[in-house]
Amino acid sequence: MTVFLLLYLCIDATHTDCQMVRADSWSGPTAYEQCTDLVPGLTETLTAPNRKRHRFVCEIQGDGAKPEEHKALPAFIHQSFRM
């Protein structure tokens, strides 16, 4: 199993306009636990206003079974506008 640590950089707290940045990754049977152990400390390093807007998420890649506590995020729609 491979797990990616993703940082969602969002314009506001509604999380409707976010940019995803891959921050790290792990492979192996304990990959998800390694990722989730890191998230609280990283979240704490954000400033209070940024904690409301940005978030760290561990996402499992591949066909393996997902841990019970893993919740799927709503799909973000990326739109591009030209003027």
Listed by start position, the domains of the chain span 2-61
Region of 28 please: left (phi>0), alpha (psi -120 to 50) or beta: left
Half-sphere exposure of 2 (CA within 13 A, CB side): 8
- Note the pLDDT of residue 48: 93
Instruction: Express each pLDDT in 1-39 by its tens digit.
Output: 899 999 999 998 888 889 999 999 999 999 999 999 999
pTM for this entry: 0.69
Residue ranges of the alpha helices (H) in 1-83? 31-45, 48-53
- Note the pLDDT of residue 14: 86
Handedness of CA 74, 16, 52, 50 (dihedral sign): positive
